[in-house]
Chain A
Amino acid sequence: MSHIHFPDGVLPVWLWASGFIVAILIGTLLLRLTKKEELTRRLPLLGMMAAVMVLGASVEIVPIAYHVNLTVISGILLGPSLLFLATFVVNIILALFGHGGITVIGLNTLVLSIEGVAGYFLFRFFWRLLRRLTFAAFFATFLALAISTFAMIGVVSLGTSHYEELIHQEKGGIIGFEFGKEKETHPTGALPEKEVNLKRFISIILPLGFIGWVLEGIITVLVARYIQRLRPDLLRLTG
């Protein structure tokens, strides 16, 4: 749910351009801060985890328009800085398949990175607190997805006035759509009725999102337990 599936041309230019600028700045900073040898050595792993995320995102649960992101498990395995670069790459590839617009890559990278980084730190926190992999992985995933979904809603709400502007562009439409439609007249001085229904959007997103958070939480737990059985070194759990 947290992945912004907006096509190009819907979000205001200032919003997606800011997303790109911030994502590029963070990406450049991380590339500079990471040692070149370390980055070169871990690039194949980054590529592989990014590919896992791409494959996860392509498994669509159609009735609720949800797909697993696997960002939290990737965050746990990659660490915060490599995860940011991985989500950038993932969003570029997903956008190339029409999964969210190309202009939304920057914003999607930020939202998904919030999810992965929050998931990484929450997992470490819950592990230290509970010492139970199942609970740590579930709560970390559930909370990280909730945080990123609210971040996504925040981003969407920033463009409200722009969507209203788009809706009121109808005068440029073709004849077929004006046919049979009564002419609307607004009394002088009266404000036009708000067409964008953000509350309805949120009331659709949150219940569907909740199902998704629980589902992805369970999947992350099961994946983490499978990894712990076969390659516990990958989880880097102490104690």
Chain B
Amino acid sequence: MIQLSYLDYSAVERKSFLHRLSPTLKIIGMVVVLFVIVTARNLPGLFLLYGILLTLFFTARVPAKIFSLTLYPLIFAFLFIFLSGFQIFFILLIFLKVLCGSTGVVLLLACTPYPSIFSALGRVLPSSFVMALFLTYRSIFILLTVLENTQNALYLRGGIQWRHPWRSLINISNAFGHLIIQGIGASEKMYESMVLRGFDGKIHYRGEQ
């Protein structure tokens, strides 16, 4: 999640053919990728899709550092090994579906600024829901800053020590409590400043009439 700001930076600052493509087209492309993932039941088809997504990933000049994000969902996929009765075909099928989905989504986020994605979604979803999405995304960045400061303070004061697990757990929980209280305080301030700027229950995106 810490890489979120880097992902956002890549979406705004980098320039490639995929960055220049319309957000609606990219969302449609993601829907097509999802359709293939849902319907494909053979390995060559999924290998081909993964190959295409990887080619797009590296030709769109997305920073290689972000690539690790696409591998993250594999942590959970290992549970399927137990469900499948160790069938190699099934395991590979699942792993490829996981990789195709995550690569597609990371590619979309790394090439499209989030206000553009939410603006496109706002055409089909209720405005309050899209606003909740937007505010959550915005809040993640606020909380990441608080989390980073709290984490630094904890480390500097020796708050997390594996030799003292109970003390560390209390400190980690207090950090979450601190995060929640700071977050609620920030949300109250955010609402007040939004009202002062003429917030009327809907967020208007640049370019909207």
Interface residues of A (CB under 8 A from B): 5, 7-10, 13, 27-28, 31, 36, 39-41, 43-52, 54-56, 58, 60, 62, 65, 70, 73, 77, 85-86, 88-90, 92-93, 95-103, 156, 163, 166-167, 169-170, 172-174, 177, 195-198, 200-201, 204-205, 218-219, 221-227, 230-231, 234
Within 8 Å by CB of B38, from A8, A39, A48, A100, lies A8
A92 — nearest CB in chain B belongs to which residue? B133
- Nearest CB of chain A from residue B201's CB, rounded to whole Å: 5
Interface-central residue, A44, A45, A96, A231, by most chain B CB under 10 Å: A44
Instruction: Report yes or no: A43 in contact with B131, Cβ–Cβ below 8 A.
Output: yes
- A7 & B73 in contact (Cβ 8 Å cutoff): yes
A-B contact pairs, 25 of them (CB 8 A): A5-B79, A7-B98, A45-B188, A48-B135, A48-B183, A48-B186, A50-B132, A50-B139, A55-B140, A58-B1, A77-B180, A86-B132, A98-B102, A102-B34, A163-B84, A166-B41, A170-B89, A172-B41, A197-B83, A197-B84, A219-B169, A222-B170, A223-B177, A226-B174, A234-B181
A172: chain B residues at CB < 8 Å are 41-43
Q: Is B89's CB under 8 angstroms from A54's CB?
A: no
Residues of B within 8 A of A39 (CB): 128
Instruction: Give chain B residues whose Cβ lies under 8 Å from the Cβ of A62.
Output: 75
On chain B, the residues within 8 Å of A54 by CB distance are 1, 136, 140
Give chain B's interface residue range (CB within 8 Å of chain A).
Answer: 35 or more
At the interface, is chain B mostly helix, strand, loop or mixed? helix
> Least Cβ distance of B91 to chain A in Å?
10
**Cα–Cα distance between A77 and B181 once the two chains are bound (Å):** 11
Residue B176 CB within 8 A of the other chain: yes
Enumerate chain B residues within 8 angstroms of A41, measured Cβ to Cβ.
191
Additional pairs, 18, CB under 8 Å, beyond known A44-B187, A197-B84: A5-B77, A9-B37, A40-B199, A43-B131, A43-B135, A55-B147, A97-B105, A97-B106, A98-B105, A101-B37, A172-B41, A195-B85, A200-B82, A200-B85, A218-B173, A227-B181, A230-B177, A231-B184
Is B28 on the interface with A (CB-CB < 8 A)? Answer: no
User: Known contacts A166-B93, A196-B83; is A97 also within 8 Å of B42 by CB?
Assistant: no
**Minimal Cβ-Cβ distance residue in A for B30:** A102
Hey, which chain B residues are within 8 Å of A200, CB to CB? 82-83, 85
Query: Taking the nearest CB of chain B, how far is it from the CB of A182, in angstroms?
Result: 14
**How far, in angstroms, from A95 to B102 measured CA to CA in the complex?**
9
| Residues of the A chain whose Cβ atoms lie less than 8 Å from the Cβ of B32 | none
State in angstroms the CA–CA spacing of A218 and B169 once bound together.
9
The 4 closest A-B pairs by CB, nearest first: A47-B135, A226-B177, A222-B173, A98-B102
Assess whether B72 is interfacial by the CB under 8 Å rule.
yes
Residue of B nearest to A223 (CB): B177
Question: Restricting to B123-148, which residues have a CB under 8 Å from any CB of A?
Answer: 126, 128-129, 131-140, 142-144, 147
**Residues of chain B within 8 A of A97, CB atoms compared:** 1, 69, 72, 102, 105-106
- The answer to whether B41 and A169 have CB atoms under 8 Å apart is yes
Indicate if B76 sits at the interface (CB-CB under 8 A).
yes
**Cβ-defined contact, B79 with A47, below 8 A:** no
In the bound complex, do residue A13 and residue B169 qualify as a contact, i.e. CB atoms below 8 Å apart? no
Contact indicator A10/B97 (Cβ below 8 Å): yes
Closest Cβ of chain B: how far from A95's Cβ, in Å?
8
CB contact under 8 A between A43 and B82, given known A73-B180, A231-B181: no
Whether the Cβ atoms of A103 and B34 lie closer than 8 Å is: yes
Contacting pair B176 A102 (CB below 8 A)? no
Which residues from chain A contact B109 at a C-beta distance below 8 Å? 96
For B171, the closest partner residue in chain A by CB is: A222
A92 to B94 Cα, complex, angstroms: 21
- Asked if A234 and B73 make an inter-chain contact with CB atoms under 8 angstroms apart, the answer reads no
A60 adjacent to B143 (CB under 8 Å): no
